[in-house]
Amino acid sequence: MYSEGKANIKYYDKAFLNPKGKLSRDISVAYTAVLADKGAKVLDATSATGIRGIRYIKEAKIDNVTFLDINIDAYRTLMQNIKSNRVKRHAIAYSTSIQEFANLKGDRYDFIDLDPFGSAAPNIQDLLKISKDGTRLMVTSTDTAVLCGAQEKACLRIYLARPMHNELCYEIGIRILIGYIARLAGQFNYGIEVEASFSYLHYMRVFVRLVHGASNAYKSITQLGYGVYCRKCGNRGIDEKAFPDKRCDVCSSELYVSGPLWTGRIYNHEIIGRISDFMEKNSYDKDSIDFVDLINSELDIPLYYSIPRMTKMIGIAAVSPFKVMECLIKQGHNASKTHMDAHAIRTDADIHAIKKCIAECLNDAAMEKKAKKQV
């Protein structure tokens, strides 16, 4: 037996359940709770034990949840869990594939949760068939080795995009995933609005709202572009050109180009704040609340800077990322931490200002060390 939130789950080795996925489920339940209208229909497209869908019913107060799982053993387990959690009158379950379900059923859903083993890419097109204007897609990909560039050919094959295998891979991976959704959604005349996204442990998860209309679809497609990175000086940025300049504007070295990917915002701070409030009000774990609050404190500026990576490129001793952030703020720039890398910062400062603050922090640290020796 496993308890999480208000759900009590019985599971076996043939019905997968990962306790480390609790953070994802906490955020997803809160997201659905604060955005769902009365009568909202939710599809848990990869149910396994049914824990996610059961929590939607019991915590987000959803009265209509559809559960899918093609594995017959998992299906039998989730049916037992639906019954034992006393949510049967709010649930309907099918033992079928997402593809078969999308082609046979005429229902359309307000929220669709996709949390597969591996890439989400093969299922997104089918789920768009049962979406509508305003549908919110909650999509997880656990193929981080692909999205983070360790398997570049696989990323090109699956997501039709070139990844970036360096310290920026988490954000680039999220933007590739969102960009892939935007391209497929455009084929169905949907634009997208990104409301939240995060990278955690072995997976990336994004929350997008579909907005119907050819003009909305076109607007989203215009927010596709490329991530560029200079391996010599550390300069990086987002380029919305179809064919970005391949020379660094700081040191003239050749740039590494990744994409196509999403160049727009990846956070809606108003919604993320409401998620945090719901979690706080309903006594969710402090770790989950702290994680959401960290995301909510982030600037929505691409791309973050890993301070240890910067000091290594410069060839100097390590400095505190927090001190560098303080220095940038004192100089009038915006700067914040990022949940994607504990040693990185987001900022609207250019690389010259960042390197200047790194040098100042290194000098301050040396003077402080010298003063201590004199004492």
The CATH number that domain 2-286 falls under is 3.40.50.150
Q: At what angle do helices 152-159 and 169-187 cross, to 10 degrees?
A: 20
**Six-digit token string for 156:** 């090109």
State residue 242's pLDDT score.
65
140 vs 38: CA distance, rounded Å: 26
pLDDT one-digit tens code per residue, 269-290? 999 999 999 999 999 999 999 9
The answer to whether the CB of 114 falls within 8 A of the CB of 48 is: no
What mean pLDDT value characterizes the chain?
Answer: 95
pLDDT one-digit tens code per residue, 204-261? 999 999 999 999 999 999 999 999 999 999 999 998 876 677 899 899 999 999 999 9
358 vs 311: CA distance, rounded Å: 8
State residue 301's pLDDT score.
96
State residue 371's pLDDT score.
75
**Six-digit token string for 278:** 């719901």
321 vs 288: CA distance, rounded Å: 23
Predicted confidence band of residue 375 (pLDDT cuts 50, 70, 90): low
Residue 189: exposure state from Cβ atoms within 10 A (0-12, 13-18, ≥19): middle
Q: Does the pLDDT value for residue 154 go beyond 80?
A: yes
**Six-digit token string for 309:** 């990576």
8 vs 46: CA distance, rounded Å: 18
State residue 169's pLDDT score.
96
pTM of the complete model: 0.95
Which residues on neighbouring strands pair with residue 341, listed in sequence order? 338
For residue 336, the SS3 value is strand
304-374 placed in CATH 3.90.1150.10: no
Predicted confidence band of residue 116 (pLDDT cuts 50, 70, 90): very high
Q: In what order do the strands lie in the sheet with 236-239?
A: 236-239, 224-230, 255-262
279 vs 274: CA distance, rounded Å: 9
Q: Does the pLDDT value for residue 145 go beyond 70?
A: yes
Domain ranges of the chain: 2-286, 304-374
Q: How far is it between the farthest Cα atoms of the chain? A: 79
Predicted confidence band of residue 185 (pLDDT cuts 50, 70, 90): very high
In 3D space, the residue among 248, 368, 347, 360 whose CA is nearest the CA of residue 311 turns out to be 360
Q: Does the pLDDT value for residue 344 go beyond 80?
A: yes
The answer to whether the CB of 110 falls within 8 A of the CB of 37 is: yes
Task: For residue 39, report the phi and psi dihedrals to the nearest 5 degrees.
Answer: 85, 5
Task: For residue 372, report the phi and psi dihedrals to the nearest 5 degrees.
Answer: -65, -40
